[in-house]
Amino acid sequence: MAVPESIRRRVEVLRKEIDYHNYRYYVLDSPVIPDVEYDRLMEELKRLEAQYPELITPDSPTQRVGAPPAKEFRQVRHAIPMLSLDNVFDEAGFRDWDRRVREGLGQEEVEYAGEPKFDGLAVSVLYRDGLLVQAATRGDGYVGEEITNNVRTIKSVPLRLMGEGWPRVLEARGEVYMPKSGFERLNRELERRGEKTFANPRNAAAGSLRQLDPNITAQRPLDIAFYGFGLVEGGRLPERHSEIMDRFREWGLKSARERIVVRGVEQAVAYYRRMLERRDQLDYEMDGCVFKVNRIDEQERLGYTARAPRWAIAYKFPAEEAITRVLDVVWQVGRTGALTPVAKLEPVHVGGVTVSSATLHNIDEIRRKDVRIGDWVWVRRAGEVIPEVVRVIVERRPADARVVELPKRCPVCGSEVIKPEGEAIARCTGGLYCPAQLKGRILHFASRRAMDIDGLGEKLVDQLVDRGLVKDVADIYYLTKDQLLGLERMGEKSAQNLLEAIERSKRTTLARFLYALGIREVGEATAATLARHFGSLNRIMSASEDELMAVPDVGPVVAAQIRAFFRQPHNLEVIDKLKKAGVHWEEGEPQQGPKPLEGETFVLTGALDSMTREEAKERLEALGAKVSSSVSRKTSYVVVGHDPGSKYDKAKALGVPTLDEAAFLDLLAQAEQGRPLD
């Protein structure tokens, strides 16, 4: 049955439209119709082609996928060899290349085209009469592998050139790469399916392109950037590289968006620096910039060496990844006691600097990556980021490689290390005693809601610890005026003020003191509850986990932390030293009955100076009070801060007692010491 002319025409129109929308979407990144509409066009074309198979042509947009797997790759001889590029690794090398070019051309200044050096796979794509007829890898530069059906699946590669004016034979050359985002998606998917993941986008691109089954390639997020040409017959290209790339784009052959034309070496260097800075923000991996003499006639005058053109150079970025050996794994202790494993490496040049250590994040990460001491590993340093071990080269693992164990004792202070079930972070329990944790601990200890030592801020704490004047929080109480006067920016007056603040802080409450100790999981509310429940420090220190768990809000995790803290002899020493220095509080009988504010309802209105609304609520609730958002006759107290709202008026109207901030703080203090309200 003959195909009706109207159908033939419709098929032609559909193909033109789909090609155009492909171009808008994949080449220009600026689609002009929504995806559903595109899908509708594609569906219609597929339906017509199914109905009239004689209409199917190889360049039809329906024909990107579906080719059967090949048994092997056919070899293709490149009509014009695909040469490589010479590299330079620093500015001196680049300026040297510029000098040679200028001398070669006898010019003061040369016009260059600058573009990203894509980290992918070089391919040659041959168009005959505008139709894609062959694609090949670079191979050894002379003979490559035929990968036409694979390249056809890359959406940004036109099966048929657009526009007009292209040569009858045009061999476009470019780089197939995998965008970083697509690479991450692919690896996640492979991992989910339990398959082997790719080490980096370049390997992923190579692995995807060199697939005997093009249907697999079709599912991989590959993209292309054209950067040059090979064979050209039956037509002419413009006189400049940059203009050729502009024409390419009109024909649907995508090139780097970040291309530029510069005059002279200074502008070229500036472009390189800009691209180096932008590197991490781009969705493709680039390993440098390529500079080309822009005028084709000048390129021809310069010619080629045996392996590379004289008119182009790859000015490489510092490599972001390198291979080296793990010499040891040490554990660093941070301010919160968190232990972070750090790989000590055989020094290696990566990301523009010499790297001799890299973070391994935590023990779970070490297990997941299976990093062992003695292993060969890939390390990565991108931008300003801390270097990290990316993965192990298991194939090169020496027989005596040692498994990394989480230390049982803190490498800094020797205290026990604990890693709560289900948490990634292991911590030192050395608390107040561990110097690594000291600075953070001191700041917490001195903070307003803890011991409230006015003026003991970060700068001062740094100095005190760095000079060895304070080795544990108790040392604060043994500081002398002379010692303080020896510190930076410390005059007579501020030294005196600080000493007075330290002196004042000695008189405290058990709840504050407990909170100040900085036991993990013991926040202000828990400290208050503990203080009230046990009444004395000794009773808390000798309580078993079961006894601790009898306290409202104390579960097994909190109880374990409290026990671990008081098991450490160092912590006990520091507490002793604090008491000897004169830190004191009123102790009382255990109060295991109702909490002091049980049955009372509070309403908060306006802002408080000494705490946030949230903090006030937590403290009240820890004391057993209810905090409500509306005032009624049943409300016990309305706490009135600055700029109170209508709740204040309502309280007055209903005759509900109000507390200003000072009265509220008195009430809290009284209740937190377990004393009934007056």
Any idea which residues carry the catalytic annotation?
117
- Least Cβ distance, residue 204 to ligand IVH (angstroms): 16
Q: Among residues 255, 377, 268, which one has the least CA distance to residue 325?
A: 377
Residue type, 463: Q
**Residues of this chain, 341-370, that bind ligand IVH according to CB under 6 A:** none
Question: What order do you get walking across the sheet with 131-137 strand by strand?
Answer: 131-137, 121-128, 169-177, 223-233
Q: How many residues bind ligand IVH (CB under 6 A)?
A: 15
Return the axis-axis angle of helices 35-51 and 5-22, rounded to nearest 10°.
140
| Residue 88 is a binding residue for ligand IVH (CB under 6 A) | no
Distances in Å between the Cα of 22 and the Cα atoms of 29, 73, 246 are 9, 28, 18
Q: Which amino acid is at 62?
A: T
Strands 131-137 and 121-128: antiparallel
| Residue 314 binding ligand IVH, by CB under 6 A | yes
Q: What Rg value do the Cα atoms of the chain yield, rounded? A: 36
* Shortest spacing between CB 158 and ligand IVH, in angstroms: 19
**Contact between 85 and ligand IVH per CB under 6 A:** yes
- How many Å from the N-terminal Cα to the C-terminal Cα in the chain? 104
Q: Is 528 left (phi over 0), alpha (psi -120 to 50) or beta?
A: alpha
Residue 98 as a binder of ligand IVH (CB under 6 A): the answer is: no
CA distance 124 to 545: 72
Per-residue DSSP letter, 261: E
| Site residues (CB under 6 A) for ligand IVH, limited to 227-286 | 227-228
Phi first, then psi: give them for residue 226, nearest 5 degrees.
Answer: -85, 140
Distance CA 285, CA 190 (A): 20
Stretch of 103-111, 117-125, 606-614, 627-635 contacting ligand IVH, by CB under 6 A:
117-125
Nearer residue to ligand IVH within complex by CB, 115 or 661 = 115
Identify the H or E element spanning 240: none
Closest distance of CB 84 from ligand IVH, Å = 5
Select the residue interacting with ligand IVH from 51, 75, 84, 612 (CB under 6 A): 84
Count of CA atoms in the C-beta half-sphere (13 A) of 170: 27
* Min separation Cβ 311 and ligand IVH, Å: 9
Name the minimum Å distance from CB 239 to ligand IVH.
Answer: 18
List the one residue from 45, 83, 342, 355 that touches ligand IVH (CB under 6 A). Answer: 83
How far is residue 267 CA from its own chain's centroid? Answer: 32
Which residues, 169 to 198, sit near ligand IVH by CB under 6 A? 175
Q: How far apart are CA 42 and CA 35, in angstroms?
A: 10
What SS3 class is residue 136? Answer: strand
Closest-approach residue to ligand IVH (CB):
122
223 vs 472, beta carbon nearer ligand IVH: 223
Using the rule CB under 6 A, which residue among 27, 122, 162, 366 binds ligand IVH? 122
Tell whether residue 622 is a contact of ligand IVH (CB under 6 A): no
- CB 145 to ligand IVH: min, Å: 15
> What's the half-sphere exposure (Cβ side, CA atoms, 13 Å) at 140?
4
Give the pair of three-digit tokens for residue 180.
């970083």
Please report how the helices 180-192 and 201-209 are oriented relative to each other, as an axis angle in degrees rounded to 10. 70
According to the binding rule CB under 6 A, does residue 117 interact with ligand IVH? yes
**Nearest-approach distance from CB 210 to ligand IVH, in angstroms:** 15
> What is the number of helices (H) and of strands (E) in the chain?
24, 24
Which residue, 24 or 180, has its beta carbon nearer to ligand IVH?
180
Residue closer to ligand IVH (CB basis): 228 or 518: 228
538 binds ligand IVH (CB under 6 A): no
Alpha helices for 421-480 (secondary structure H):
435-446, 458-466
The half-sphere exposure of 115 on its side-chain side, counting CA atoms within 13 A, is 21
Nearest distance in Å: CB 136, ligand IVH: 13
Q: Output 118 or 315, the one with its CB closest to ligand IVH.
A: 118
Binding mask 136-175 for ligand IVH (x = CB under 6 A): --x------------------------------------x
* Closest listed residue to residue 94, CA positions, set 274, 288, 241, 259: 288
**Minimum Å distance from CB 178 to ligand IVH?**
14
Binding mask 18-47 for ligand IVH (x = CB under 6 A): ------------------------------
Using rule CB under 6 A, residue 309 touches ligand IVH: yes
Q: Is 125 a binder of ligand IVH (CB under 6 A)?
A: no
Of 147, 178, 312, 558, which one interacts with ligand IVH (CB under 6 A)? Answer: 312
Q: Per CB under 6 A, which region of 33-41, 111-119, 329-337, 343-351 contacts ligand IVH?
A: 111-119
The region that residue 643 occupies, defined by phi over 0 for left and psi between -120 and 50 for alpha, beta otherwise, is left
Query: Which lies closer to ligand IVH via its Cβ, residue 119 or residue 672?
Result: 119
By the rule CB under 6 A, 596 interacts with ligand IVH: no
Q: Yes or no: say if 205 and 177 are a contact pair by the CB < 8 Å rule.
A: yes
Residue 225 or 559: the one with the smaller Cβ distance to ligand IVH is 225
| CB nearer ligand IVH, residue 83 or residue 371 | 83
* Integer CA distances (angstroms), 308 to 13, 86, 87, in order: 44, 6, 10
Q: Cβ(450)–Cβ(435) under 8 Å?
A: no
Nearer to ligand IVH, 78 or 441 (CB): 78
Measured CA angle at 222 (ends 217, 224), to 5 deg: 125
Could you give the CA distance from residue 330 to residue 90 in angstroms, rounded to a whole number? 34
Among 132, 186, 275, 290, binds ligand IVH (CB under 6 A): 290
> What is the smallest separation between the CB atom of 133 and ligand IVH, expressed in angstroms?
21
Q: Does position 118 bind ligand IVH by CB under 6 A?
A: yes
Residues that bind ligand IVH (CB under 6 A): 83-85, 115, 117-118, 122, 138, 175, 227-228, 290, 309, 312, 314
